[in-house]
A = this chain, B = another copy of it.
């Protein structure tokens, strides 16, 4: 059996661990043959392929990024895209396809399976942890660890100068990284996209922290938004591709507003790409490896149109269509739970 593999969307620590597990198990236990498509859906679209056997996956387990490259190319938006994909799969005699990616990449896999009978198995990947049907996605734990270490470091510098430090972390539509790293790092305010924040309330927490003779750390997800009345700089907000309104540079905006309103010096740190690169945490390597092993099992069972997912400590299979139907966001109750540490 010849199996194609591709990785799409933003890179994420653990992608290589999935690829390695898929190939090791596929070749050693089942005698499958593999072909790697370069740069997500761009690979089958343009016929860009790489050899993918045991030698190609040697030593890649601890490496961040993806040896297959990635892109956000969507064949359904390319002229004649789907036909070219089908031709590619035929040309390279691909019996089944393992697609590793997020909502977009897996959405394509789901449609190719449903509309064109392509035998696809999906592996979920989102550093933001916002994919439904799985408890966690790999990459998320690494990102949270990196953000938490950064917050740890910032506490002492904040205290030394009695400044507010605003830390902007990833999370466009879901605040999982902000919530987890904020709680783990002992932040004094955590702001998430799921709940518009009230600047007066934020400034209240900041001020109360100073009153206790400590310097506050504010963790804000990049997609967090103030309440309408608070948004003075209208033009800084714009609609993104999901139709959500986003404030570009929310961390910097927030620091300025806090400084203006409380009279306390405030600085911003935008963690950015550092959160998504480099070696995966042990948890992410474990999860990615198990996802890879179970994706091969799904292929062998002929269980196409499914995605592997983590539920508790079990790897299960869920329909691709269901997994990509809606984002998994932070529930209100969980956010409320964290509030005892605010201020």
Residues on A lying within 8 angstroms of B by beta carbon are: 10-11, 13, 15, 21, 24-25, 28-29, 61-66, 69-71, 135-136, 141, 144-150, 152-162, 165, 180-181, 183-186, 267-274, 276-279, 281-283, 285-286, 289-290, 293, 311-313, 337, 340-341
Contact = CB atoms under 8 A, between A and B. Distances in A.
A187 to B, nearest CB: 10
Contacts of A270: 270, 272
Contacts of A29: 340
Contact of A156 (B11, B156, B158): B11
Contacts of A149: 278
A63 B161 CA distance: 15
Nearest to A267: B273
Nearest to A284: B184
25 contacts: A11-B157, A11-B161, A24-B340, A65-B156, A65-B157, A65-B159, A65-B160, A69-B159, A69-B162, A135-B312, A135-B313, A141-B283, A148-B282, A149-B278, A152-B278, A153-B273, A153-B277, A180-B286, A183-B286, A267-B273, A270-B270, A281-B281, A290-B337, A311-B312, A312-B312
A273 B278 contact: no
A8 to B, nearest CB: 11
A269 B273 contact: yes
Contacts of A21: 340
A340 B25 CA distance: 6
Nearest to A15: B160
Contacts of A186: 61-62
Contact of A282 (B144, B155, B160): B144
Most buried by B among A63, A64, A71: A64
A271 B281 CA distance: 19
B156 A63 contact: yes
A286 B24 contact: no
Nearest to A214: B58
A38 to B, nearest CB: 11
A42 to B, nearest CB: 11
Contacts of A278: 149, 152-154, 156-157
A184 B285 contact: yes
Contacts of A160: 11, 15, 65-66, 69-70
A136 B159 CA distance: 25
A157 B337 CA distance: 30
Given A183-B285, A184-B286, A285-B184, A157 B340 contact: no
A160 B101 CA distance: 13
Nearest to A181: B282
B152 A341 contact: no
Contacts of A341: 24
A125 to B, nearest CB: 12
A282 B69 contact: no
A266 to B, nearest CB: 12
A277 B156 contact: yes
Given A65-B157, A293-B337, A340-B29, A165 B273 contact: yes
Given A135-B313, A153-B278, 19 more contacts: A11-B160, A13-B156, A21-B340, A24-B341, A25-B340, A62-B152, A64-B153, A65-B160, A70-B161, A135-B312, A153-B274, A153-B279, A154-B274, A156-B277, A157-B278, A183-B289, A270-B270, A271-B274, A293-B340
